[in-house]
Amino acid sequence: MNIDNAKSQMRKGMLEYCIMLLLKEKAYYTSDIIKKLKEANLLVVEGTLYPLLTRLKKDGVLTYEWQESTQGPPRKYYVLTEEGNEALAQLDQSWMEMENTVHHLKNDNEN
């Protein structure tokens, strides 16, 4: 089994959810999203993040707003839409179900 590939696929599957969790309460600039994910030990590069943000925006989950910057041109800050909040609620439910399943299977195998 290719463990690195399995771990990569798990991270990839969680990435959308983690980004949506970040954007639930506050709008973030792309480099801030990367920083927050890194602080949570989920390493992401811009080349991965930008296409994902674009897709989520196209899907109606995110939108962005331009904010003035003291360090150059205005910056694009991403935020969840109402549709994004609804999708996040569904993902929260799915996450709890998966977490319960894994917990159950781990405990079942320990007995």
For residue 20, how many other CB atoms are within 10 A of its CB?
19
Q: For the segment 26-35, what is each residue's pLDDT rounded down to a tens digit?
A: 999 999 999 9
Q: For the segment 62-106, what is each residue's pLDDT rounded down to a tens digit?
A: 999 999 988 889 999 999 999 999 999 999 999 999 999 999 998
Burial class (CB in 10 A: 0-12, 13-18, 19+), 84: buried
What is the pLDDT averaged over residues 33-58? 93
CATH class as words, domain 3-110: mainly alpha
| Domain segments of the chain as ranges | 3-110
